[in-house]
Amino acid sequence: MRTQPREVRCTACNILLAKVEENGLVIQRGELQATIHGEFHAALVCYRPRCRKLNVLRLSTVTKLAVATA
């Protein structure tokens, strides 16, 4: 079952910074694309010249599986 990507927007100017998809956090600017997977902290500085707000994220893109014990 595919889920819709969740947008990560700048807290100051609301411009799109990244998307959280099934395979991780995806950052795309021009020809550059980065995908980050796992549990992490990310500090993204807004790329809009008049904004430059620091946006800090704490994400986990790993689903925790229940382990059955016998």
Instruction: Locate 66 and state its tokens.
Output: 């229940």
69: pLDDT strictly greater than 60: no
- Is 39 inside a domain boundary? yes
- Is 69 inside a domain boundary? no
Cα 61 → chain centroid: 9
- Is 1 inside a domain boundary? no
How confident is the model over 6-21, as a mean pLDDT?
Answer: 95
Predicted confidence band of residue 47 (pLDDT cuts 50, 70, 90): very high
How confident is the model over 3-7, as a mean pLDDT?
Answer: 88
* Rounded Cα gap, residues 44 and 37, in angstroms: 16
- Is 36 inside a domain boundary? yes
- Is 67 inside a domain boundary? no
How many separate domains does the chain show?
1
Predicted confidence band of residue 40 (pLDDT cuts 50, 70, 90): confident
- Is 54 inside a domain boundary? yes
**Which residues, including other chains, have CB under 8 Å from residue 32's CB and lie 6 or more apart?**
none
Residues spanned by the domain of 47: 6-60
- Is 34 inside a domain boundary? yes
**Size of the chain in residues:** 70
Is the torsion defined by CA of 14, 19, 20, 24 positive or negative? negative
